[in-house]
Amino acid sequence: MIKPKVVEPLNQVSTKMEDIDNQLPWIIWGSQFTITLEGRAVVNAQIQLYSNLNELMRLVCNETQDDDYCYFYRDMIRAIRACKTAAEERAVVRKECASIRAAVSDNDNDYRHRNLAKLMFIHMLGYPTHFGQMECLKSIAAPGFPEKRIGYLGLMLLLDERQEVLMLVTNSLKQDLNHTNQYIVGLALCALGNISSAEMARDLAPEVERLLQFRDPNVRKKAALCSIRIIKKVPDLAENFVNPVASLLKEKHHGVLLTAIQLCADLCTASEEALEYFRKKCTEGLVKVLKDAVNSPYAPEYDISGIADPFLQIRLLRILRTLGHGDADASDLMNDVLAQVATKTESNKNAGNAILYECVETIMSIEDSGGLRVLAINILGRFLSNRDNNIRYVALNILMKAISVDGQAVQRHRATILECVKDSDASIRKRALELVYLLVNETNVKPLTKELIDYLEVSDQDFKGDLTAKVCSIVEKLSPEKLWYIDQMLKVLCEAGNHVKDEVWHGLIVVITNATNLHGYTVRSLYRAIQTSGDQEAVVRVAVWCIGEYGDLLVNNIGMLDLEEPITVTENDAVDVIEVAIKCHASDLTTRAMCLTALLKLSSRFPSCSQRIKDIVNQSKGSLLLELQQRSIEFDSIIEKHQNLRSALVERMPVLDEATYSGRRTGSLPAVVSTSHGNSLQIPNGVPKTADAPLLDLLDLSADEPALQNSSGPNFLQDLLGGDILSSASQSGSTQPQKNGTDVLLDLLSTGSPPAQNGSSTADILSISQDNNIKSSVIALNSLSSPMVTSAQSTPASSIMDLLDGFGPTSTIPKDNGPAYPPLVAFDSSSLSLIFNFSKQAGSPQLTQIEATFTNKSSDIYTDFIFQAAVPKFLQLHLEPASSNTLPGGGNGSITQKLQVTNNQHGKGRKRVESSSSSSHE
Amino acid sequence: MGIRFILMVNKQGQTRLAQYYEYLTLEERRTLEGEIVRKCLARNEQQCSFVEHRTYKIVYRRYASLFFLVGVDNEENELAILEFIHLLVETMDRHFGNVCELDIMFHLEKAHFMLEEMVMNGCIVETSKNNILAPIQLMDKAS
């Protein structure tokens, strides 16, 4: 006797045997019943025997009319379908979720099935369904197949391997894997195969291994795929599966073969030993299986448009590829069958083409056999000329792989491939473009680039990004001469200047500076380009930079090439261009900042326009962008007050080192960490400034805000680099790329420590070096914090900070006495001062001697005085003992201590030192 | 692992079935589905059935109002996946009798059971319609 229970939803109407009014009856096995409520059939169910061929399973009672369960499930879907807006849909889902939650908390067994079905739908729509996870587990733990089935489905859909709930299911899985019913075993295998975590894989691997020999092939095939998941999660279990797989590969059942081959392929990639094993033991067998498949008579079961099981054939070809790759003997074994597949397979149906596609790939990657290669290339040719876009797409795909095997054969199809770049289909264009990129070499770079650039004019907007990136890369990689490079890049920038990456125009500037004989030509071309393509940001930037640098060449037509037509540009015209650029609304911060610098340079190059330039610069003084405001105020001050200094400041940029630049682009140097403030100072390529006059950049240091001070140091260096891709460096002491050279620059930055602490001032020694251009070393001191005197925290440095105005133009930089370094007041407060004296020994540039002198200005006597310093790993610091540990007060008497800093990376990159000194006193 | 997800989407771009074989958060799924659907539905009949998106290659095919989209990794044979989609549709046809969007919506779990028999962990398990449908029909008969 069983009480009827709603278990499984179905919408088939069963035959009604009897009506029972309003009461749930006790029913005898085998009978069918209907329950009516107020004249309406509510439940129409029958009790049945559920069995498979082997055993009597259990009694299942099914609801068979859609009034109850299906009413609700369907109702929800109807309601969702009826929703006009996303908000309505959310409301419906919210309501449903609330009722499901209620059912969950009531522990409602009867409707669990229905609720899970609903949850799956809700999950598919993209709403959270975590509250249903436990329901899945309960359902799985239920004894019946229908419950288990929906439970496992829910498990696979609603849960994933990262959730801890999953651990709870391991035990149920284990029981089900050992179940007597093969369908339940199948369910468990499927779930395990889809969501198993590493722990579960380890726990359940023995069961799966055993199931590889299960009597029913449908279980074996699932066990094989489950094993793939297991060895992926726990690779060291792989060896246990090698032998079972070898025997599975001998089976006849297609499902088992298909999955066993996939497992075999995974084992081969997982371990070299397994690959060798399979190569020796199974190659012949697999070749035979493929041969049988190709020659098999019609088998309706696996036939697809006249081809016997294409999926199996494809898998076989794929595993043969793995086995044959790099092994001549194995390749030999499969030659015949590959030739057979290549010749016998019909190519008028998709299934056939899929096989041919796979076959060509296999021929291309196994060891050389001339005849087969010809066959494959012919098939490729046929594919490429096919009218079906799908076939052309895969042809391009194989050509990509074939190019490394047989470049000549691919080159023959160049014209067709170039046509594909212009196809209306974005997928094909993308493939073809990548292929063209691989095809380009020194001999064909010029015509191919021309084709691509011509196409750039007419291509889709969204394709321009990809296309320009590839063209730029080709031009950079294979450019035969600088003139051609500059010409092509200008064309690209004019067409798609808004699509190029920053590196591209940075690279262009580097090349331009290096092409000394082309400066005049370049600046004139750019002048023309900006007239026609002023809306392309990259053109504007490069043009502004070049006009700033080479404005005089532009105006005076210097360095004319034979092919050029002379143009007449007045000084005012050149300034016009920049004025337009700085005032253009579309220009961003970088462009405007570059404009300002260019203007500063022009003010020196074109003395007659000086007043006009000053006016333009002044307009940015009120800019809300700090960077612009600051620059314009500084530049104005230079134009106004420092006429005699200006021309030296704005001299032409030194030639930028191409090797360093390209090295940095390929990432051979450590990446730069961006500033912790992430502020507006991150201007890659900053603004070109002459390396002879880092003074200009020191102006940046005079900013008042501590935050800016922190980042302006690195920015200073960054600006020095001109056309570089540096972003600002972080305060936290990262190694930064820098050019080769010999000079040292020290930059001491303050970290403004709170007065409550014992006090530490962070010194930031940046050693910068530039080829041969910097003949000076500068010690910039930003601000210092006092450990003891709060009010004195950042003031003492101010006089030093404003180097320009404070010291006057002539005394600013010890320009010519390279190896001598001025003493540095590292710390100064009303109570203590610390002065560093630097010296270097000739012949050992990596060694810096520092003599620290401490003076006590207060009236107290400091006893137990200790000085500590720390440096990053690439520096070695040697602290010699101090002359005394007692510091008499009143400024009479001092302590000296010698420090020796060895730079292990001297000449390799920019260094940065954070040395902190802490002193204790009484 | 070849197949990374299978989607069924109607003309309006609403997902009707989604099966992922790798972990993505709900948010990632929603954005991914949105992006892919926008890309694929905008293409016309003549264009090829393959779209590259992020690290996926999407093989899609349209049947009346329903799009079948399969995301695979780069190594997979695109034409074979196309054939697989067709096999999936034929299997569903045999079960539902000319399958349509509503069949899948109202019998989501059945559609999933079929898929489960065909694909596991991103690999194809079975390609014979009889073998795929046997367990499902057995269940139906039993109920």
CATH number of the domain that B66 lies in? 3.30.450.60
Q: How many CB pairs under 8 A join A and B?
A: 168
- Chain A touched by B121 (CB under 8 Å): yes
Q: Which of A557, A559, A526 is nearest to A542 (CA)?
A: A526
- Which pLDDT score is estimated for A662? 67
B51–A427: do the CB atoms touch at under 8 Å?
Answer: yes
Task: Using an 8 Å CB-CB cutoff, list chain B residues near A255.
Answer: 125-128, 131
**How close, in Å, is residue A230 to chain B by CA atoms?**
11
Residue where a domain stops, chosen among A270, A297, A330: A270
Q: Which of A390, A384, A388, A449 is nearest to A417 (CA)?
A: A384
Task: Give CA–CA dist A325/A362, Å, rounded.
Answer: 9
> A372 and A226 share a domain?
no
For residue range B121-143, what is the model confidence (pLDDT) as tens digits? 999 999 999 999 998 888 877 76
Task: Give CA–CA dist A304/A536, Å, rounded.
Answer: 54
> A842 and A744 share a domain?
yes
- Chain A touched by B28 (CB under 8 Å): no
- Check whether A846 has a pLDDT greater than 60: yes
**How close, in Å, is residue B67 to chain A by CA atoms?**
16
- Which pLDDT score is estimated for A664? 60
Q: Which DSSP symbol is given to A36?
A: E
For residue range A760-769, what is the model confidence (pLDDT) as tens digits? 333 333 333 3
Q: Cα angle at A213 between A210 and A215, to 5 degrees?
A: 120
Please report the ipTM that was assigned to this predicted complex: 0.95
Range of the domain at B125: 3-142
- Check whether A422 has a pLDDT greater than 90: no
- Which pLDDT score is estimated for A646? 80
Mention every residue, 6+ apart, whose C-beta is less than 8 A from residue A115.
A100, A103, A104, A108, A132, A135
> Closest partner residue to A394 among B78, B112, B143, by Cβ?
B78
Rounded mean pLDDT of A106-112? 79
- As a three-state string, the secondary structure of A161-203 is CCCHHHHHHHHHHHHHHCCCCHHHHHHHHHHHHHHCCHHHHHH
Lowest mean pLDDT segment, chosen from A131-140, A320-329, A576-585, A742-751: A742-751
- Which pLDDT score is estimated for A663? 63
- Which pLDDT score is estimated for A819? 52
> A213 and A281 share a domain?
no
- Which pLDDT score is estimated for A696? 37
- Which pLDDT score is estimated for A311? 92
Cβ burial, residue A387 (10 Å; 0-12/13-18/19+):
exposed
> A241 and A291 share a domain?
no
Rounded mean pLDDT of A65-69? 38
Is there a domain that residue A599 lies in? yes
Helix (H), strand (E) counts: chain A: 36, 15
What residue in A sits closest to B74 (Cα-Cα)? A397
Rounded mean pLDDT of A590-613? 88
Backbone angles phi, psi at A896, to 5 degrees: -120, 150
Rounded mean pLDDT of B32-58? 90
Rounded mean pLDDT of A776-790? 35
A126–B26: do the CB atoms touch at under 8 Å?
Answer: yes
Rounded mean pLDDT of A720-749? 37
**How close, in Å, is residue B68 to chain A by CA atoms?**
15
Task: Using an 8 Å CB-CB cutoff, list chain A residues near B30.
Answer: 126
Is the dihedral angle over the CA atoms A463, A466, A468, A470 positive or is it negative?
A: negative
> A794 and A909 share a domain?
yes
Task: Give CA–CA dist A76/A118, Å, rounded.
Answer: 8
- Which pLDDT score is estimated for A174? 92
Q: Could you please report the per-residue DSSP string of A591-632?
A: HHHHHHHHHHHHHHH-GGGHHHHHHHHHHGGG-SSHHHHHHH
- Check whether A816 has a pLDDT greater than 50: no
Q: Which of A894, A899, A870 is nearest to A883 (CA)?
A: A894
Task: Give CA–CA dist A605/A33, Å, rounded.
Answer: 102
- Chain A touched by B139 (CB under 8 Å): yes
- Check whether A667 has a pLDDT greater than 80: no
B80–A310: do the CB atoms touch at under 8 Å?
Answer: yes
Q: Which DSSP symbol is given to A534?
A: T
Q: Which two tokens stand for residue A609?
A: 């326009």
Residue where a domain stops, chosen among A350, A368, A384: A384
B127–A311: do the CB atoms touch at under 8 Å?
Answer: yes
pLDDT cut 90: percent of chain A above it:
15
Mention every residue, 6+ apart, whose C-beta is less than 8 A from residue A649.
A604, A638, A642, A689, A690, A693, A695, A696
A40-51 vs A32-37, strand pairing mode: antiparallel
- Which pLDDT score is estimated for A623? 85
Is there a domain that residue A567 lies in? yes
**How close, in Å, is residue B51 to chain A by CA atoms?**
6
For residue range A555-572, what is the model confidence (pLDDT) as tens digits? 888 878 877 787 888 888
Lowest mean pLDDT segment, chosen from A196-205, A242-251, A476-485, A673-682: A673-682
- Which pLDDT score is estimated for A650? 80
Q: Which two tokens stand for residue A295?
A: 């020659």
Mention every residue, 6+ apart, whose C-beta is less than 8 A from residue A233.
A196, A197, A198, A201, A202
> A299 and A210 share a domain?
no
Is there a domain that residue A796 lies in? yes
- Check whether A714 has a pLDDT greater than 60: no
**How close, in Å, is residue A74 to chain B by CA atoms?**
6
For residue range A618-646, what is the model confidence (pLDDT) as tens digits? 888 888 888 889 899 988 888 888 877 78
Is there a domain that residue A33 lies in? no
- Which pLDDT score is estimated for A362? 92
Is there a domain that residue A818 lies in? yes
- Check whether A1 has a pLDDT greater than 60: no
Q: Give the H or E element holding residue A661.
A: helix A658-665
- Which pLDDT score is estimated for A710? 38
Rounded mean pLDDT of A462-479? 84
Lowest mean pLDDT segment, chosen from A330-344, A361-375, A786-800, A830-844: A786-800
Q: Are A192 and A204 in contact (CB under 8 A)?
A: yes
Is there a domain that residue A236 lies in? yes
> A607 and A526 share a domain?
yes
> A351 and A299 share a domain?
yes
Strands (DSSP E) found in A266-322: 303-304, 307-308
pLDDT cut 70: percent of chain B above it:
99
- Which pLDDT score is estimated for A718? 40
Range of the domain at A772: 733-917
A225–B125: do the CB atoms touch at under 8 Å?
Answer: yes
Task: Using an 8 Å CB-CB cutoff, list chain B residues near A311.
Answer: 80, 83-84, 124, 127
- Chain A touched by B109 (CB under 8 Å): yes
- Mutation for A interface: B8, B79, B84, B138, most A CBs within 10 A: B79
A218–B109: do the CB atoms touch at under 8 Å?
Answer: no
Task: Using an 8 Å CB-CB cutoff, list chain B residues near A182.
Answer: none
- The residue type found at A503 is E
- Which pLDDT score is estimated for B77? 92
For residue range B57-67, what is the model confidence (pLDDT) as tens digits? 999 999 988 99
Residue A879's domain is classified under what CATH number?
2.60.40.1230
> Closest partner residue to A183 among B48, B125, B135, by Cβ?
B135
- Chain A touched by B34 (CB under 8 Å): no
**Which of left, alpha, beta for A60 (phi over 0: left; psi -120 to 50: alpha)?**
beta
Would you state the torsion angle of the CA atoms of residues A708, A712, A713, A718, taken in this order, to the nearest 10 degrees?
Answer: 150
Between the CA of residue A587 and those of A367, A594, B84, what are the distances in Å? 57, 10, 51
- The residue type found at A104 is V
Q: Which two tokens stand for residue A129?
A: 């369904």
What residue in B sits closest to A117 (Cα-Cα)? B109
Q: Hey, what long-range contacts does B37-42 have (CB within 8 A, 24 or more apart)?
A: B37/B7, B37/B9, B37/B13, B37/B67, B37/B69, B38/B13, B40/B67, B40/B69, B41/B9, B41/B11, B41/B13, B41/B67
Residue A208's domain is classified under what CATH number?
1.25.10.10
- Which pLDDT score is estimated for A80? 87
Q: Are A310 and A316 in contact (CB under 8 A)?
A: no
Task: Give CA–CA dist A210/A716, Å, rounded.
Answer: 69
Which residues 54-83 of chain B have a CB within 8 Å of chain A?
77-80, 82-83
Q: Residue A341: pLDDT band by 50, 70, 90 thresholds?
A: very high
> A552 and A622 share a domain?
yes
Q: Which two tokens stand for residue A725?
A: 């891709």
**Which of left, alpha, beta for A375 (phi over 0: left; psi -120 to 50: alpha)?**
alpha
> Closest partner residue to A311 among B21, B50, B80, by Cβ?
B80
> A535 and A633 share a domain?
yes
- Check whether A848 has a pLDDT greater than 50: yes
For residue range A271-313, what is the model confidence (pLDDT) as tens digits? 899 999 999 989 999 999 999 888 887 777 888 888 888 999 9
> A308 and A379 share a domain?
yes
Mention every residue, 6+ apart, whose C-beta is less than 8 A from residue A419.
none
Q: Cα angle at A892 between A889 and A894, to 5 degrees?
A: 85
Rounded mean pLDDT of A842-864? 77
Is there a domain that residue A239 lies in? yes
Q: Total structural domains in chain A?
A: 4
Q: Residue A666: pLDDT band by 50, 70, 90 thresholds?
A: low
Mention every residue, 6+ apart, whose C-beta is less than 8 A from residue A798.
A783
Is there a domain that residue A12 lies in? no
- Which pLDDT score is estimated for A409? 82
- Check whether B73 has a pLDDT greater than 50: yes
Residue where a domain stops, chosen among A218, A235, A270: A270
Task: Output the average pLDDT for chain A.
Answer: 73
- Which pLDDT score is estimated for A66? 37
Is the dihedral angle over the CA atoms B126, B130, B132, B138 positive or is it negative?
A: negative
> A655 and A752 share a domain?
no
**How close, in Å, is residue A121 to chain B by CA atoms?**
7
**How close, in Å, is residue A128 to chain B by CA atoms?**
7
Q: Total structural domains in chain B?
A: 1
- Chain A touched by B136 (CB under 8 Å): no
What residue in A sits closest to B14 (Cα-Cα)? A125
Lowest mean pLDDT segment, chosen from A145-159, A268-282, A703-717, B104-118: A703-717
pLDDT cut 70: percent of chain A above it:
72
Beta bridge partners of A901: A848, A877
